[in-house]
């Protein structure tokens, strides 16, 4: 961790004694890659961070909220989404020796867990986890977004209520083909009659 990074949070004011707590507020510019496939916190946009840091036996429990601008695309109608969201955070950052103890016990997940480094916490992975946990994988412009007209691909929200396309109507089509069939049979019948008539003449 680069200790000069704005995302390196110093723990010097947090006593290591279990139960100690400090609150920490900051406004930071969002790092790159706070994103899911269809929604993201734009790089450089303002993050309003409001955290509580608590010393626990295993490390430092980081909790609180991050207010962030969110940009994306509706998964149904594909129109742009712009929003502001308050993302919840709750993450244990281990003391290195505590994490090592868990790894030694065979806890494979602990290997990936964040650790306190040189009395600092790296906020970037915590922010990334908050985004991944809080933002929807399929974002919607509104809860009941009706999506796109399947025929012309225009969002229903931008079409008039009476928007229709000429649709294939199976009932009408069956009647039409019956009429064609009857006509054909009729003319066949006429042909038959005339053939018979000719035969009679012979």
Check residue 74 for interaction with Zn ion (CB under 5 A): yes
Do the bridges between strand 120-122 and strand 59-73 make them parallel or antiparallel, or are there none, so unpaired? unpaired
Check residue 77 for interaction with Zn ion (CB under 5 A): yes
From 42-50, 66-74, 110-118, 184-192, give the range in contact with Zn ion by CB under 5 A. Answer: 66-74
> Site for Zn ion (CB under 5 A): which residue of 76, 98, 99, 120?
76
Check residue 75 for interaction with Zn ion (CB under 5 A): no
Check residue 66 for interaction with Zn ion (CB under 5 A): no
> Site for Zn ion (CB under 5 A): which residue of 152, 197, 199, 201?
152
Least distance CB 149 / Zn ion (angstroms): 3
Q: What DSSP state is assigned to residue 138?
A: S
Q: Which two tokens stand for residue 60?
A: 């430092």
Check residue 89 for interaction with Zn ion (CB under 5 A): no
Check residue 92 for interaction with Zn ion (CB under 5 A): no
30's CB contacts (< 8 A; 6+ apart) are 41, 42, 43, 44, 45, 46, 47, 68, 69, 127
Least distance CB 78 / Zn ion (angstroms): 7
User: Segment 20-39, which members bind Zn ion (CB under 5 A)?
Assistant: none
Which x/- pattern, by CB under 5 A, does the window 108-147 give for Zn ion?
---------------------------------x---x--
Q: Which two tokens stand for residue 65?
A: 């909220």
Neighbour-count burial of 89, counting CB atoms closer than 10 A to its CB (0-12 exposed, 13-18 middle, 19+ buried): buried
Q: How far apart are CA 23 and CA 47, in angstroms?
A: 16
Check residue 149 for interaction with Zn ion (CB under 5 A): yes
Neighbour-count burial of 114, counting CB atoms closer than 10 A to its CB (0-12 exposed, 13-18 middle, 19+ buried): buried
Least distance CB 81 / Zn ion (angstroms): 8
Q: How far apart are CA 121 and CA 193, in angstroms?
A: 99
- Please report, as ranges, the residues that interact with Zn ion according to CB under 5 A: 74, 76-77, 141, 145, 149, 151-152
């Amino acid at each position: 961790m680069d200790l000069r990074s704005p995302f390196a949070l110093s723990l010097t004011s947090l006593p290591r004694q279990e139960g100690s707590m400090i609150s920490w507020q900051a406004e930071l510019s969002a790092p790159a890659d706070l994103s899911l496939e269809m929604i993201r916190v734009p790089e450089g946009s303002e993050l309003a961070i409001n955290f509580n840091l608590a010393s626990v036996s295993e490390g430092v429990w980081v909790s609180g909220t991050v207010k962030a601008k969110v940009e994306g695309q509706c998964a149904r109608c594909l129109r742009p989404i712009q929003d502001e969201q308050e993302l919840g955070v709750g993450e244990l950052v281990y003391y290195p020796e505590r994490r090592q103890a868990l790894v030694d016990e065979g806890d494979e997940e602990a290997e990936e867990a964040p650790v306190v480094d040189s009395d600092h916490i790296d906020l970037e992975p915590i922010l990334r986890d908050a985004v991944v946990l809080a933002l929807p994988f399929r974002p919607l412009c509104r809860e009941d977004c009706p999506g796109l007209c399947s025929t012309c691909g225009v969002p229903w929200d931008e079409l008039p209520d009476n928007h229709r396309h000429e649709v294939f109507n199976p009932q009408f089509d069956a009647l039409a083909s019956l009429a064609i069939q009857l006509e054909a049979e009729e003319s066949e019948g006429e042909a038959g009659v005339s053939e018979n008539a000719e035969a009679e003449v012979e």
